Amino acid sequence: MVGQRLSTIVSTTAKLPKCDIVPKKYTGPSINELSKTRREHLNPSIKTYYSKPLAIHQGHRQWLFDLEGKRYLDMFGGICTVSVGHAHPKISEAVTKQLNTLGHCSNVYYHEKIHEYSKRLAEKLPGDLNVIYFVNSGSEANDLAILLARCYTEKNSVMSLKNCYHGMTYQTMALTSNSCYKYPVTQNPGFYTTMNPDVYRGLWGGNNCRDSPVQTDRQCACTDECQAGIKYFEQFVSELECNVPRSGLAAFFAESIQGVGGAVQFPKNYIRKVYGAVKETGCVFVSDEVQAGFGRTGEHFWGFESHGIKPDIVTMAKGIGNGFPLAAVATTTEVAEALTKADHFNTFGGNPVSCTVGLTVLEIIEEESLQLNSHRVGTHLLLELSKLRDEFSYVGDVRGKGLMVGVELVQDKGSRKPIEAVKFLRLWEICREQGLIVGKGGLYGNVLRLKPPMCITQEDADFAVEVLKNALSEISNS
């Protein structure tokens, strides 16, 4: 029965917005051949979305095309990674030119692009965050940030928030707080977590707590200061007093908005309070901007700016390279000096091609006003999604800023129990059938993640909402 339901196509179908691109004809291996190769030669722990694997052949801006040429609106952006659009012609042109000039040069030598890009990237950061380390992934960036913090403070303890995701290296696995990403091996020592200040699902929170166009439907009496933020901060202090050695923390890590955790936003002033407390002890504050950075949250270029803080270390990846394997760590000269206690080297960090991509992404964000577009289209999307929360009992919460959006699905609004997996998967399948790709996340895998290329239009946003409405209508009537 489940398989029959998953293959059913709903009668109400949304109309895809116009696109002038005609995809190239696919001539490669069949889906069956690809599946066989995947089973035999690829990492068996890689999870494939959908009942029938989705095989992508071509991309253009906010659009993706499968092997048969079917078009999809990509509202997941390759897991919040495609920032300026698939196959952007300016990036393709810049990369081709650079490859024809110099494809690789170790950073033990001078080459123009690493110097130009480090300067341009530092100019986008506030204050004295002027030293840039180039690496290849967000996990690697956070791993390096831990090393920097420990070398600088000469302390070992590191704290993060429950429900966070900071990577999957052996060290960042201990920093991440989600059992889905914990292998049954001895975890690295010195890592601690504190209560996640989730104003929808947590102990405290209400409808005045979030910096978002859409508030949770829980009631609160907050006026001048968010009381939920105070209570969660007290839990943080308790964690320090009870579990962390008296020498104190080397680093506190926080995403500006939790990404994999389901676009969870923190109560107003919570991050600022934690920041103030850890700075008093000499602890390094690390802002993980892997998903929230580069204009995605709309009002600011960096997510941490909405919290009113200036971190000691900023880690970034994903949107920095529009899908190219590029990441970076930014810090102060003082903190960076601590890493000279031994030699540090990265073979591919600052590669001429990757730096060219990074430079071009910065140019496109500015030239096409993509940060402003994230704010305008993202606010519209959030407000339209909030109407679905009012209409459907399965929609428990809508949250986010700009084009970093989460929709939490529940069995009913009263209990907030996660929606049954079969219903969630059916909704997911309907979205795909109607040409919409969305992600999922959250501790219980019940949050729809909408983090598209920042070039999407209001028409695209309306299409996404219409498809979700169709899907919610079907699972409500099934």
Residue 55 covered by a domain: yes
| Count of beta carbons in the 10 Å neighbourhood of residue 219 | 9
Amino acid 427: pLDDT: 97
Amino acid 13: pLDDT: 87
The three-class DSSP label of residue 275 is: helix
Model confidence pLDDT, tens digit, residues 153-190: 999 999 999 999 999 999 999 999 999 999 999 999 99
Domain end position, chosen among 367, 389, 420 = 367
Residue 157: which residues within 8 A CB-CB, separation 6 or more? 190, 191, 192, 244, 245, 247, 248, 249, 250
Amino acid 478: pLDDT: 81
Residue 85 covered by a domain: no
Please indicate, yes or no, whether residues 308 and 411 belong to a single structural domain of this protein: no
In 3D space, the residue among 405, 401, 391 whose CA is nearest the CA of residue 450 turns out to be: 405
Confidence check: pLDDT of 10 > 50: no
For 109, left (φ over 0), alpha (ψ -120 to 50), or beta? Answer: beta
Confidence check: pLDDT of 25 > 80: yes
Q: How many domains does the chain have?
A: 2
Task: Domain of residue 385: give its range.
Answer: 2-75+369-477
Measured torsion, CA atoms of residues 32, 37, 38, 44, in degrees rounded to the nearest 10:
130
Residue 129 covered by a domain: yes
CATH number at 349 reads 3.40.640.10
- Cα(37)–Cα(201) distance, rounded to whole angstroms? 41
Please indicate, yes or no, whether residues 167 and 202 belong to a single structural domain of this protein: yes
- Cα(458)–Cα(462) distance, rounded to whole angstroms? 6
Amino acid at 450: L
Q: Among 217-221, 264-268, 435-439, which is the least confidently predicted range?
A: 217-221
The three-class DSSP label of residue 231 is: helix
Please indicate, yes or no, whether residues 322 and 374 belong to a single structural domain of this protein: no
**What's phi and psi for 331, nearest 5 deg?**
-155, -175
- Cα(393)–Cα(426) distance, rounded to whole angstroms? 16
Helix and strand numbers, DSSP H then E, in the chain: 14, 15
Residue 198 covered by a domain: yes
Q: Alpha helix locations (H) across 281-411? A: 333-337, 352-367, 370-391
Please indicate, yes or no, whether residues 50 and 168 belong to a single structural domain of this protein: no
- Cα(406)–Cα(399) distance, rounded to whole angstroms? 5
- Cα(306)–Cα(256) distance, rounded to whole angstroms? 8
Model confidence pLDDT, tens digit, residues 406-435: 999 999 999 999 999 999 999 999 999 999
Confidence check: pLDDT of 150 > 80: yes
Helix (H) or strand (E) holding 458: helix 458-477
Please indicate, yes or no, whether residues 330 and 447 belong to a single structural domain of this protein: no
Two tokens, residue 117: 């890009």
Arithmetic mean of pLDDT over the chain: 95
| Count of beta carbons in the 10 Å neighbourhood of residue 369 | 13
Please indicate, yes or no, whether residues 194 and 318 belong to a single structural domain of this protein: yes
Contact (Cβ atoms closer than 8 angstroms) between residue 311 and residue 283: no
- Cα(177)–Cα(180) distance, rounded to whole angstroms? 9
Amino acid 225: pLDDT: 84
Amino acid 293: pLDDT: 98
Contact (Cβ atoms closer than 8 angstroms) between residue 277 and residue 237: yes
Contact (Cβ atoms closer than 8 angstroms) between residue 153 and residue 247: no
Residue 155 covered by a domain: yes
Please indicate, yes or no, whether residues 42 and 127 belong to a single structural domain of this protein: no
Residue 84 covered by a domain: no
* Locus of tokens 């092997």: 67
> Which of the four pLDDT bands, split at 50, 70 and 90, describes residue 8?
very low
| Number of residues in the chain | 478
**Does this model's pTM top 0.85?**
yes
Please indicate, yes or no, whether residues 393 and 317 belong to a single structural domain of this protein: no
Please indicate, yes or no, whether residues 100 and 68 belong to a single structural domain of this protein: no
Model confidence pLDDT, tens digit, residues 357-406: 999 999 999 999 999 999 999 999 999 999 999 999 999 999 999 999 99
In 3D space, the residue among 154, 379, 187, 196 whose CA is nearest the CA of residue 283 turns out to be: 154
